[in-house]
Each structure stands twice: as structure tokens, then as C-alpha cells.
Structure 1
Amino acid sequence: MIVRFGLQFLIPALALALLLAPPAAQASEPAEVAQKRSDLEEVKRRIADLRKEIADTEETRSGAAAELAAAERAVSQAQRQLHALAAERATTEKSLAILEAEQEAVEARIAARQTELGEWLRRHYVHGAGGGVAPFLSSRDANQFARDAHYLEHLGRARLALIESLRGDLRQKAELGESIAGRRDRLVALEAQQRAQHATLESMQARRKQALEGISRQLLSQRKEEETLRQDQQRLGRLVEVLARRAAEREAARVAALAAAREAAARAAARAAAEKRADAVGGAPSTPRSRSEAVVGEVRQAAEATPTGVSFAQLRGKMRFPVRGELVGRFGAPRAEGGTTWRGVFIRASGGAEVRAVAAGEIVFSDWLRGYGNLIIVDHGSDYLSIYGNNDALLKELGDVIAGGDPIASVGASGGASESGLYFEIRYRGQPVDPLQWVRLN
């Protein structure tokens, strides 16, 4: 049974319970701060790892730069060798020109001597073996004969010398030809070898230069990433400071509100005790839900699903009552038994009927409370509560998240009620409001 002091005692007690269990918005802020701190630590770890990567990249870059320098020195040395070979080739070409001139002179001598020898052979062939000496032998003078014989001896030796000289010229020509060919072959081979080496070194230089450029780009990208991470770290640090400060401010406000609620609860408990003593003297109060209460209207349609993402305030005038039945009492009107006014409404309904939530929210109270029996309270956010009392059974527990139209209890007569039905209230910032301004009758 609902006594006159029940409503006065309920709200401070509920405020105390809600403050002891902070709402989701207050509880989530420390978790958000912790998450941001974790993100900040992760950014710091990434910066440390990146700095190590930058150091490794710089070391690699130094090695690549050293290799490139060695390659460039090798290319320079090969280029010098090519220049030296070119100079040697020019000198050799001059020497070859001299040798070729000598070879031409030898060839001229050979030709002249061949001509002379050919003329001698021709005369020898025309006049016979003795054709050249017969006139000398026909002389009868002994002295003349001796002189002719001496002359013939000199003539024979001259012819032999001519032949030997011709042979020497031919040998010299062959030697000069071999020397020229050998020097030319050597120069061609050396030049080809040096050019191949130079091409290899240039290719190596190009690869190492490309590798160095790639490492430099990587290093530049890493440094840019480090700068971005440092900026992220600064922004996260500032955000963590703001969140931590706000969390501390809200915690201080919650503690102050908790103290005020405790004080209000103590005052309400004192008043309730005084009223209880007065009731004991004058007799127990009559039930506020007797047949003497006027029927305001009939609820023919119970609560249904409400749109998601819509606030409780936006649902004003669009919601339906939690259960079908007769609506008893009018908000703000005096109760039939006197002494108090209606802060909610009572809906006469059959026992066991489903009690549905008028809108989405979170269960913040689900327990038995003196004067209200099995009571369930839903927090809809933005300081709005809906209260469902005198239930037979509570189907939801503390902390459950529900949608509009979900069954949360079953109709009963708990708490000392004289008939089965549902006591229903809507409160904003702890103060009761007229349900008929929020919930459609039909």
C-alpha cells in the first residue's frame, strides 16, 4: 500500500541510489581519458621506434654514400686510364707512321734491287752463263787478263752483296709488319678492356646513386612521419589534459551532489518517521487506489517501439502508456483519502499483464521499495526518468539497456495495493511532471 509519505521518501532515496551509481556519461569520461592516455603512449612508442628506424636509415645512407664515393673514384680512375690509353695510342700511331715510312723506304729499296737483279738475270739469260765475261776472256794479254779477272771477282762479290742486301730488306720489312700489327692489336685490346671496365663502373655508379636517392627519400618520409607523430602527440597531450580536468570537475560536482542528496535523504527519513508515528496514532492511511478514485479515462493501447536516435523530449505527446486499463486519478489533483496530491497516475489492469517501457533507456532501479512494491525505474537520458510501481514481477535488472515497447515487468498488487494495477510517473530533474502531457491516452 502506498502511504502518504511514500512519494516524499522515494525521490531522495532514488537520487541517492543514482548518485552512488554514476550515470553512463560520468562513468565513461574516465574511460575516455584512459583511452586517450593509451593512444598517447602508443604515439610515444611509435615515435621512439621511428627514431630508431631513422638512425638505422641514416647509417645505411652513410654506407651507401661511402659506396657511391668509392664507385665514383673507381670511375674516375678508369677514365684516367682511358685518357692514358688514348695518349699512348696517339704516341703509338706516330711510331707506327715512322715505321710505315721506313717500311715504304725498305719496299722502295727492295723494288730497286729487284729491278737491278732482274736486269742482271735478263742479261745472264740472253748472253748465257758467260755472256757477261766472254769479252774479257778473249784478251791475249796476260796482264790485261789478270786485271779482268780481278774485276770479275769484284763484280761477283757485288752481285752477292746485292742479293744479301735484298734478303735483309725483306726480313726488315717482315719484322716491321709484325711489330706494327702487334702494337695495333695490343692497343685495340687494351682500349676495349678499358671501355668495358668503364661501362661496368658507370653502371655500378648509377645503381648506387639510385640506391642512395631511395634511402634519402625514405629518410625524408620517416622524418615527415616523425614530425606528424610529434604533432599528434602534442594534440593528444592537450586533449588528455582537458578530459582529465573535466573528469575531475564532474567528479567534484558528483561528490557535492551526493552529499546534498544524503542530507536531503536524512531530512526525508526524519519526516517519514514523524508521519509514521502520526499514522500509528491516527490509524493506517487508506489506499489511494480504491474504487472511490475517479476514473480519468481508459487506456486501450499499450506502449510500442519508439524511433531510435530520438531523444525523450522529442517523443513528447507521441508515447503511449505502459499497460492497457482504466486510468485513475489526475496529476496534481487531491487524492480521495486526502492529505496528498497525485504525482503520477494509477492504471487498473489485470494481474500478470505486460508492463512496457514508454521509451528507450537504461534500468537504474529494479527492486522492492516500501509503499511501491516491486519498482522499476528507467533512465531515458537528459535527466528524464519513468517510474513503474506495484508490479508483480520485474523482468529487467539494474544496468539493462532497453528499447521503447520492451516488456520490463508484469502487473500486480505488490507494496500493499488493494487492487492490481500499475502506478506510473514521469520525472524531469527529480520533479514529477504530468504524464498526460507526455503520453497519449489513445
Structure 2
Amino acid sequence: MKYLSPSTILLTGTCCFLSAMSAQASNLPQKIHESKARLESIHQSVANLQAQLQKKQKSQSELRAEIHQLDVKIQATQAQLTKIQGQRQKTRQEIQTLQTQINQLQQDLLQQKEILADQLRAAYMLGGETPLAVWLQTEKPAEIGRLSVYYQALAKARLDLISKTQVTSNKISQTQRQKKQQEAQLTHLATLTQAQEQTLQGQRAQHAKLEEQLVQRIAADQAKIANLEANANILNGLVNRLSTEYAQQVAAEKAAAARRAAEARKRAAERLAAERAAAARAAAERRAAARAAAQQRAEIAAKAAAEQRRAEQLQKEIHQEAVPPPTPVQAPQIAELKPTAPSTPPASSTVGQGSFPLPVSAPIKHLFGTPRMDGGPNWQGITFAAAPGTPVHAIAPGMVLYAGPLRGYGEIVIVQQADLVLAIYGHLAKPAVQVGQKLQTGSLVGSVGSGGEMNADGLYLEIRSHGHPVNPLHFLR
């Protein structure tokens, strides 16, 4: 087993701690990036709705121009009808005058008929005698002459009266025919004018109905734009708050890391100095022991050499063998220990390449990228047609970054599954997790909500990779 010095262990632990803190700090930038991407999507939706609103307002302007033209035609028709009514009133006055004349002519004709009847009655009373017979029977011839002149004048007046009566009758008939023709012409003209006015009024009513429908659609689009802008403002506030928290967290972590690094360096320097001093003392002690051992061995070797010389001198003649010189003993070399470099922590594995289980057991109602029924941006995730209260489980391990309400998404839970992969569970009844909580695959996230922002029951699941929405079906099995 390899020996590690205390300073090496301390530096390794410090690096691991700093790596963990930096990994935790990386969550906030990811949340900020995700929120900004969502904010850009909302702004794009607002721009699209505003373009549609401008088209509808243009159509409304054209429709109002057509309505104005119809109003002008209706006014002209009404003026024509008023003129016709004036002519009709004038004609009626003329007809009334004619009727008065007809009544007068009828009275004259009645008088003429009465006079003619008197004349005929007088002639009838005279009988069938001729004027000559009457003259011969009369005793006064002068009276007979006057009577003859009277009869001639009476006959002429009778003829004139008969002729005048015939003229009056013809004039009465002609006046009555003229009266009927004028009345028929005015009635026909008034009928045509009224029909034209009714047609124009119908067209105007239809245009007014279309304008009302267009106004309602424009009002609905304006309300939708206002709602999206309100959602964008809320999301913008969330982004600003997360940015501020991230800046504060980074500053605090930098200051804490700087303090910990300074303290670690100080403790490492002190322990390294202590270790070096201890090593130096141990080396000095080893060198002193080696010198003492060498001196002792040298003395022993000198004594042995002296005894050997004396033995050689005593037994020189007896023993002719040479004694080999003693082998010197060297002191062992002790290597100084050096602190090893701290090991680098392994990089975290990327999650999202495998198959994840479904969060709920329910059919998929809306697919990724399909348009919404009520307009606005397309679906950036998928929705499950699950009943309210159905438990929602995590599809992969991760840490909770956000849990709470968000306008336009209801109650949501944002889980960071990897460095650049986020899972967003929306339209929940109530989250069952807290920020910072670690989740495992299958952990309870919450339950399915009812109605709300989706106008229906179900679960909304969105997955973001590198800050962009991706099809969750690529991650689910």
C-alpha cells in the first residue's frame, strides 16, 4: 500500500470539496440559460401574435371602408327615397287637386244632366206637334214667333249642353286614368327603392356582423398578447432573481474558496515545514548513528587487525596462509519522502443517453412541436392525458433546482439530470419535493393537476438539452 502524507490527503480533500461546490454552482447558470431561452420563445410568440393582429386590423380597416361605402349608398338611396316620397306627396296633392276638379266636373255634369232633364221634360210636355202647327193654332202670331225663337235657342243650348257633358265625362275619365298611372308609377318606384334600401341594409348588417366578429377576434388576440407579455415579465423577474442569486452565490463561494485555500496553504506549509524538520532530524540521527556504527566497526576492525598481526607473528612460521583484509561496511542510504500531487476527481457521466421510464402511465395527448389549439407557441414538450391526482415519478436521477408556481405552466418542478440536461414537470397539483433535494429514478415528484393553464387534466413534460427544448420521446421508452 502506497504511503500518502497528511498534506497530500488534505489537498486532495480540498480539491474534491471545491469540485463539488463548483458543480453545485453550475446549476444556477443552467437555470438562467433555460429561463432566458423560454423568455425568447415567449417574445417570439408575442411577435407572431402582433403580426396576426396587424393583419386583422388591416382587414378591419378594409371592412370599415366597405361599410362606409355601403353607408354612402344607403344615404343616397334614402335621399332618393325621400325625393320619391316628396314627388309622391306632390303627386298626391296633384291627384287631390284632380279629384277636386273631378268632383267639380261631376257636380257640373250633374247640374247639366238636371238642366237637360228639364229640357227633355218640357219637350215631352209639348208633345209631337211641330212649331208650324203650334203657330197656326195660336191666336197671337207674335207670341208664336217668340216661342219659335225660344225653342231654337233651347235646342241649341240642349246640344251644347250635351256636347259639354260628353267633354266633361271624357275629361273625368282621362283624369282618373292619369291619376291611376301616376299612382302605379310612384308605387312601383317606391317598391324598387325600398327593395334596394333593404338590400343595402342587409349588406350593411352582414358587414357589421363581420366587423363585430373581427373586433372580438382582435380583442381575444390582444388579451392573449397581454397574457403572454405578463408571463414573459414573470419569467424575466425569475431570471433576474436567479441571476442575482447566482452572482451572490459565486461571490460567496469565491471568497470562501479563497479563505479555505489560504488556510489550506498555510496548514500545508506548516505541516510540510514540520515534516521537513522531522525528516532533517531523523536524517541527522541516522547519520550520527551511522558514524557511530562506522567508528565502532573501525575500532573492532583495528582490534581484529592487531590481534591478527599478533597471531600472524606468533604463527608465522606455522601457518603460511594469507588472511584476506576485512570488507568495509557502508551506511544505508535513506531517500527523503516528497509530497505527491493531488489526484483529479473523475468527470461526471452524462445522463440522457439511455432509455428512461415514463413519468406516468397514461397515453400521450400532445406531441413535441405540434401547434396549440388556442394559438400561441407550439408545444415544447409532451402532455400525458392522466387523471388528476395520478402520482408523477422522476424519469432519471437528479437534483431539484426549482419547485413552485410559474405563470403559464402551473405548479412546476425543474430537475437537473446532468450538466446540460434539465427535466421540467409542469401542471402539477402540488410538488412533493424541495429545492436541493436529490432524486432517484422513480422518486415521487408530485401529482397530476386538474384544469388550470392547460384547460384540461394532464401532465406536461419538457426536456432541455444545452438550453434548447428537445423531444422527450428521444429519452423515454
Q: TM-score, normalised by structure 2?
A: 0.46
Q: TM-score, normalised by structure 1?
A: 0.49
